[in-house]
Amino acid sequence: MLSNLADYGFVWAVLAAWKARRPGPRRQWALRTLALGGVASYAVNAGLKRLVARPRPADHLRVASPEAVPVRPPTSSSFPSGHTLAGFCTAVALAESPAEGLALVTFAGAVAASRVQLGAHHASDVVAGAAMGTVLGLAVRRAARWW
């Protein structure tokens, strides 16, 4: 379920919409940050996936039980984890306090763990995605405030 919530940035778009619920500078900042984070994380992820072209784990998308929530099968290479990269990028960029940052990064980490648990990624794919996403999130945060 965590993996599905983060698919195509759904949960992060909902978070930005929540932050943008009132008009004013906060709305503009939240929407600008989401847009910059989405474009930046997609560009970095797509470029690296093409460059590295690492195969998925052999047992990708294993199903734990017949009641398991279905997950969209991946169509790209494994490195880096796009779910993780986008999650950490957006979590770091949208956090407005240390406590909120901790909560959002914890959720992004849970999504990362779900990608390994599903067999969609090697552990190193999500570790690299988390590191790159964090650095990219800091850059997006700075760019969104500057803009």
pLDDT recorded at residue 135: 95
pLDDT recorded at residue 78: 67
In the chain, how many domains are there?
1
**111 domain residue, yes or no:** yes
**67 domain residue, yes or no:** no
**130 domain residue, yes or no:** yes
Q: What is the pLDDT along the chain (147 residues), one digit of tens a residue?
A: 666 566 666 777 777 788 778 888 888 888 888 888 888 988 888 888 888 878 777 655 554 555 555 666 666 666 888 888 889 999 999 888 899 899 989 989 988 888 877 777 788 888 999 999 999 999 998 888 887
pLDDT recorded at residue 8: 61
**16 domain residue, yes or no:** yes
28-64 per-residue burial string, b: 16 or more CB within 10 A, e: under 16? ebbebbbebbbebbeebbeebbeeeebebbeebeeee
pTM metric for this prediction:
0.78
**65 domain residue, yes or no:** no
**66 domain residue, yes or no:** no
The alpha-helical segments, DSSP class H, found in the chain are: 2-6, 10-19, 25-52, 82-94, 98-117, 123-146
**51 domain residue, yes or no:** yes
**64 domain residue, yes or no:** no
Domain housing 123? 2-58+76-146
